[in-house]
C-alpha cells in the first residue's frame, strides 16, 4: 500500500497540535486541540480556514470546451457567465453519479474542481468522453493548492492581504488577485453553508498564504479547522458528500439535486435515464431527520418504519448549531414528508426520529 501523501502544510498542522488522519490517500488534520465543536462554531460565528489541497482541479480548454462540458455535465454550462462558478454533476449512462463538481468559467478556459477520492476516475472519465471534441483536458491538481476560508468574517480576514475589493465579489463569482503577494484565483464559494472563499494558487506558495491568512484573521477569531468540523458544517445545510449521499448507486433526482440537472439543453450523458426517473418519480428520496431518542445516527444504519427496514442512513452527526443529533437518509418516497415518524436502528435498538424539512441550517446572509 502506498504511503499517504502530505500537503505542503503538514508541518504547520502538526505544530498547531492537529490530530492527523488518512483521508482519500492524504494525511490531513481531523481536528485541532480546541476540538471539532469549537471549530464548527467558529465558522458559524467568525471564520475558519481549511487545508483542502487533497481536492482535485482539471482545466478544460479549446474551441469545443463548452460543447464538451455540455455533453458530460448535467447543468447547463452555457448559463455560467465569465468569472462565475456553478455546481454540477457528472452521470453515467444509467443516471447514477460519477461525481459532483464545481465549474469555474475563466474566459479562456474552464476549471472543474473535483473530489479527492475521485480525482483519477474523473480525469479518466473526462478524457474518455473527449473523443470527437477539440479540447485539452489537463489535471493541474499537483501544481495547484487549495484553501477554504469560511464564515461570516471570512472577508474581514482576507481583505487585509488581498489587493482587490472583496466586497465587489458576489456569491459564486470568481476573480484573480494577489493574496499576500501570491497570484490567486478566488471563488466566493464553499462547502459549509456560510459566506467564504475557496482559493487556488501555486502549490509552492502554500505556507506563505496560510501564514498570512492566519495572521490577518487572528483579531477576527479565525481558527484552523479539520475534517470533522468540515463534515458537521456541510451536513447542517444538507450539502451532499460523495460516497455517502451520492454515489454510483444513486441518482440526482432521488438525492434532491434535480435543480442541478437541465433537461432543456442538448443531450448529455445520462439524460434519458434521468428523464425516466423524473417522469416515473423517484422510488426513494433523501430526507433529513432529527433524533428524538438519545442516540448517534451513523452512515449505514438501518431506517425502520413500523418495525420494517425501509431505508439507510447516509450521514449522521451531533449538530453544534442545533445542539441535537441529526442525519440524512434514503427512505421510500411516501415517507419523505416532514413530521413522518421513523426509527434508526442503533446498536440493535430502535431509536425514535422524525423527518424534518431540509436544510437543518440557513446562514444569516441567506435568510
Q: What is the DSSP string of 166-222?
A: GGG--TTBEEEEEETTEEEEEES--SSSSSEEEEEEEGGGHHHHHHHHHHHHGGGTE
Q: Are both 40 and 176 inside the same structural domain?
A: yes
Whether residue 146 is found in the same domain as residue 111 = no
Using DSSP's 3-state secondary structure scheme, residue 118 falls into helix
Based on the fold, state whether residues 159 and 303 are members of the same structural domain: no
Cis peptide before 359 (omega within 30 of 0): yes
**Per-residue pLDDT reduced to its tens digit, 250-297:** 999 999 999 999 999 989 999 999 999 999 999 999 999 999 999 999
Regarding whether 32 and 72 lie in a shared domain, the answer is no
Mark whether 107 and 42 lie in a shared domain.
no
| Locus of grid cell 445520462 | 270
Q: Are 169 and 219 contained in the same domain? A: yes
- Asked if residue 164 and residue 29 are part of one domain, the reply reads yes
Q: Is residue 214 part of a domain?
A: yes
Looking at the structure, tell me whether residues 39 and 64 fall in a common domain: no
- Using CA atoms, how far residue 32 sits from 28, 143, 196, 219, 227, in Å, is 11, 27, 21, 19, 10
Q: Give the pLDDT of the chain (367 residues) as one tens digit per residue.
A: 678 999 999 999 999 999 999 999 999 999 999 999 999 999 999 999 999 999 999 999 999 999 999 999 999 999 999 999 999 999 999 999 999 999 999 989 999 999 999 999 999 999 999 999 999 999 999 999 999 999 999 999 999 999 999 999 999 999 999 999 999 999 999 999 999 999 999 999 999 999 999 999 999 999 999 999 999 999 999 999 999 999 999 999 999 999 999 999 989 999 999 999 999 999 999 999 999 999 999 999 999 999 999 999 999 999 999 999 999 999 999 999 999 999 999 999 999 999 999 999 999 878 7
The enclosing domain of 219 has a CATH number of 3.30.1360.120
Domain of residue 29, residue span: 5-55+142-235
CATH code for the domain of 66: 3.30.70.1400
Residues 172 and 33 in one domain: yes
CB 185 within 8 A of CB 199: yes
Check whether residue 160 and residue 198 sit in a common domain: yes
Q: Are residues 329 and 353 in the same domain?
A: yes
Task: Indicate the number of domains in the chain.
Answer: 3
Q: Is 351 inside any structural domain?
A: yes
Full-model pTM: 0.96
CATH of the domain at 310: 2.40.30.110
SS3 42: helix
Of 40, 39, 46, whose CA–CA distance to 17 is shortest?
39
Q: In this predicted model, what pLDDT tens digit does every residue of 289-323 receive, in sequence order? A: 999 999 999 999 999 999 999 999 999 999 999 99
Does 249 reside within a domain? no
According to DSSP, the residues that pair with 183 across neighbouring strands are: 178
The Cα 237–Cα 193 span in angstroms is 6
Q: Which long-range contacts (CB under 8 A, 24 or more apart) does 73-78 make?
A: 73/101, 73/103, 73/268, 74/252, 74/260, 74/261, 74/262, 74/268, 74/270, 74/274, 75/103, 75/260, 75/261, 75/262, 76/262, 76/264, 76/265, 77/103, 77/105, 77/110, 78/265
Pairing label, strands 47-51, 222-225: parallel
Amino acid at each position: 500500500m502506498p504511503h499517504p501523501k502530505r500537503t505542503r502544510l503538514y508541518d504547520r498542522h502538526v505544530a498547531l497540535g492537529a490530530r492527523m488522519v488518512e483521508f482519500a490517500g492524504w494525511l490531513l488534520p481531523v481536528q485541532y486541540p480546541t476540538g471539532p465543536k469549537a471549530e464548527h462554531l467558529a465558522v458559524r460565528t467568525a471564520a475558519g480556514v481549511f487545508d483542502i489541497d487533497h481536492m482535485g482541479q482539471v482545466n478544460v480548454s479549446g474551441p469545443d470546451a463548452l460543447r464538451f462540458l455540455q455533453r458530460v455535465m448535467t447543468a447547463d454550462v452555457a448559463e455560467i457567465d465569465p468569472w462565475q462558478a456553478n455546481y454540477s454533476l457528472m452521470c453515467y449512462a444509467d443516471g447514477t453519479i460519477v461525481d459532483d463538481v464545481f465549474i469555474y468559467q475563466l474566459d479562456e478556459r474552464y476549471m472543474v474542481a473535483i473530489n479527492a477520492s475521485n480525482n483519477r476516475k474523473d480525469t479518466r472519465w473526462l478524457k474518455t468522453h473527449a473523443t470527437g471534441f477539440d479540447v485539452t483536458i489537463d489535471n493541474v491538481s499537483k501544481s495547484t493548492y487549495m484553501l477554504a476560508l469560511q464564515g461570516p468574517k471570512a472577508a474581514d480576514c482576507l481583505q487585509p492581504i488581498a489587493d482587490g475589493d472583496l466586497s465587489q465579489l458576489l456569491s459564486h463569482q470568481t476573480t484573480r488577485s494577489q493574496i499576500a503577494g501570491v497570484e490567486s484565483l478566488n471563488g466566493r464559494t464553499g462547502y459549509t453553508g456560510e459566506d467564504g472563499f475557496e482559493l487556488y494558487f501555486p502549490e509552492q506558495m502554500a505556507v506563505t498564504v496560510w501564514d498570512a491568512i492566519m495572521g490577518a484573521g487572528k483579531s477576527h477569531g479565525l481558527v484552523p479547522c479539520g475534517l470533522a468540523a468540515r463534515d458537521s458544517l456541510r451536513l447542517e445545510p444538507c450539502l451532499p458528500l460523495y460516497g455517502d449521499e451520492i454515489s454510483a448507486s444513486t441518482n440526482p433526482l432521488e438525492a434532491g439535486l434535480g435543480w442541478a440537472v437541465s433537461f432543456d439543453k442538448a443531450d448529455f450523458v445520462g439524460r434519458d435515464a434521468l428523464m425516466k426517473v423524473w417522469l416515473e418519480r423517484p422510488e426513494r428520496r433523501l430526507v433529513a431527520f432529527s433524533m428524538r431518542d438519545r442516540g448517534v445516527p451513523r452512515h449505514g444504519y438501518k431506517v425502520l418504519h413500523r418495525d420494517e427496514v425501509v431505508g439507510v442512513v447516509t450521514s449522521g452527526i451531533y449538530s453544534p448549531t442545533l445542539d441535537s443529533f441529526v442525519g440524512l437518509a434514503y427512505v421510500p418516497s411516501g415517507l419523505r414528508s416532514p413530521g413522518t415518524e421513523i426509527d434508526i436502528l442503533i446498536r440493535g435498538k430502535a431509536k425514535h426520529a422524525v423527518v424534518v424539512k431540509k436544510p437543518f441550517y440557513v446562514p444569516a446572509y441567506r435568510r
